[in-house]
Amino acid sequence: MKRLYSATQNSIRGLVDGFKTEPALRDEAVLVLIGLALGLVIAPSGAWYAAMIGTLLIVLAVEFLNTGIEKLADHVTREQHSEIRRIKDFGSAAVFCSLSLAGLVWLVALAVRCGLL
């Protein structure tokens, strides 16, 4: 039980610090909050709503991982280094992929809601 409590504290600390210091995380948190309300209108069913919100949470999770990678890379060296640039670009590409997935799920949900599919 103590381990679970400590893990929860670490997670909350990471969430708070991330939202305080990282604009991209704040932007995506706002996206989740808007999605929570907008999804209620767009989602054709409860399962669709869960999938739609789930994709937004995936975007947020991937952004946290990307931020961690960038912070670690900056800690290793602030100098321009081609391999570190590639690593940061890989993290950015992961965020792009998660955003693309979220956009696809939301567009299909909207199409289903409008009777287009």
Active site residues: 63
Residue 51 CA to residue 61 CA, distance in Å, equals 15
CB 54 within 8 A of CB 33: no
Cβ neighbours of residue 5 under 8 Å, at least 6 residues apart? none
